[in-house]
A and B are shown apart, each in its own frame.
Chain A
Amino acid sequence: MDFYSSSSSTISSHEEPHVLAVDDNLIDRKLVEKLLKKSSCKVTTAENGLRALEYLGLGADQEHSTNNNGSKVNMIITDYCMPGMTGYELLKKIKESSILKDVPVVIMSSENIPTRIDQCMEEGAQMFMLKPLKHSDVKRLRCQLMQCQ
């Protein structure tokens, strides 16, 4: 079965990367979506970690699912402070998955807490970004995404 092959890891300059954006705040979700679209990304949003995992096919009842949304996602950007499952916990779940561990995960937070940043980077986060996000932040991210893929 070919579904976890290369499509998620190579982006040609003609393709739009598909980003999953996770944030419990409605306004922030709308903003990050627009920022990403402005940087030519295809965007799917989720309002919490559980929904994000379900979308990716990593949900609790999805062990034998044929949900292959995960293989279509080129990057995940998530808020840190979310009720239920934090962005850090989501990051861990993604890194534990054999299918998704190589998908870059970016953590966003309104709080600049060094221990929090270290914790995320140690767990394999691609980047940690301070909110509110600016257009220049997303542009930079987009460039990084193109280069490391």
Chain B
Amino acid sequence: MEQIQRKLAEYTASLYNEKILDEQFIQLQQLQDESNPDFVVEVVSLFFEDSERLFNELAKALVSKITEFSILVCKNSNQTNVDFKKLDAHVHQLKGSSSSIGAQRVQRVCISFRNYCDDRNVEGCLKCLQQVKIEYTFVKNKLETLFKLEKQFVDAGGSFPVV
């Protein structure tokens, strides 16, 4: 049990040290109580579902509008049929929800992404889309591991301190 507890504590600390999560995640944990013991998992699951939906929307708004030819055109002129307003609206959503659960790195990429939207920079947006997916997958894996460790801890008889 002690081993699991230590593993959990170390893992949790690493998430904050590596700035994968910020103190907003702690806020979430503090909201969890007996009346809602799975609150954090529920909110994070919602975040996963909503983010996947947003990635689809982003792909529709950005990737499908681009062909190799139009990228060439974009580089030379400001012509594009990408709806940057729509793109920005979706990124704004993703920025909001990642911020709300403390997924710091995802949020940071969203900020850059929005700047590229403002500048109508297709290449920049494409890069950010790639980047945000990478950061999302990364935090998703980390959180899933965290939840697994927490479950192991609880199953071994551990309980979390009431804040």
- List chain B residues, Cβ under 8 A from A30: 42-43, 46
Shortest A79–chain B CB gap in Å is 9
Chain A residues in the interface with B (C-beta under 8 A): 24-28, 30-31, 34-35, 38, 81, 83, 110, 131-132, 134-135
- List chain A residues, Cβ under 8 A from B31: 31, 34-35, 38, 135
Interchain CB contact under 8 A, B100 and A131: yes
What are 14 contact pairs spanning A and B, CB under 8 A? Answer: A25-B97, A26-B46, A26-B50, A27-B96, A27-B97, A28-B100, A30-B43, A31-B28, A31-B100, A35-B31, A83-B89, A132-B24, A132-B100, A134-B27
Q: Whole-angstrom distance between the alpha carbons of A49 and B97 in the complex?
A: 19
Interchain CB contact under 8 A, B30 and A28: no
B27-66 interface bits toward A, Cβ cutoff 8 Å, 1 = contact, 0 = none: 1101101001001001100110010000000000000000
Residue of B nearest to A31 (CB): B100
- List chain A residues, Cβ under 8 A from B28: 31
Question: Which 6 residue pairs are nearest across A and B when measured between Cβ atoms?
Answer: A27-B97, A132-B100, A25-B96, A34-B31, A27-B100, A132-B24
* Partner pick for A135 among B30, B46, B93, CB 8 A cutoff: B30
B76-96 interface bits toward A, Cβ cutoff 8 Å, 1 = contact, 0 = none: 000000000000010011011
- List chain B residues, Cβ under 8 A from A35: 31
Q: Whole-angstrom distance between the alpha carbons of A27 and B100 in the complex?
A: 7
Q: Whole-angstrom distance between the alpha carbons of A103 and B115 in the complex?
A: 37
Q: Whole-angstrom distance between the alpha carbons of A35 and B74 in the complex?
A: 46
Shortest A1–chain B CB gap in Å is 38
Q: Whole-angstrom distance between the alpha carbons of A110 and B42 in the complex?
A: 22
- List chain A residues, Cβ under 8 A from B92: 81
* Partner pick for B96 among A28, A83, A135, CB 8 A cutoff: A28
Does B122 count as interface, using CB distance less than 8 angstroms? no
Known contacts A34-B39, A135-B27, A135-B31: A28-B95 contact under CB 8 Å: no
- List chain B residues, Cβ under 8 A from A81: 92
Interchain CB contact under 8 A, B50 and A27: yes
Shortest B105–chain A CB gap in Å is 16
Interchain CB contact under 8 A, A131 and B27: no
* Partner pick for A31 among B33, B43, B93, B95, CB 8 A cutoff: B43
Given A25-B93, A31-B100, A135-B31, 7 more pairs with CB closer than 8 A? A27-B46, A27-B47, A27-B97, A27-B101, A28-B100, A110-B95, A135-B27
Known contacts A27-B47, A81-B92: A34-B36 contact under CB 8 Å: yes
- List chain A residues, Cβ under 8 A from B33: 38
Q: Whole-angstrom distance between the alpha carbons of A28 and B47 in the complex?
A: 10
Interchain CB contact under 8 A, A131 and B96: yes
- List chain A residues, Cβ under 8 A from B36: 34
Residue of A nearest to B32 (CB): A34
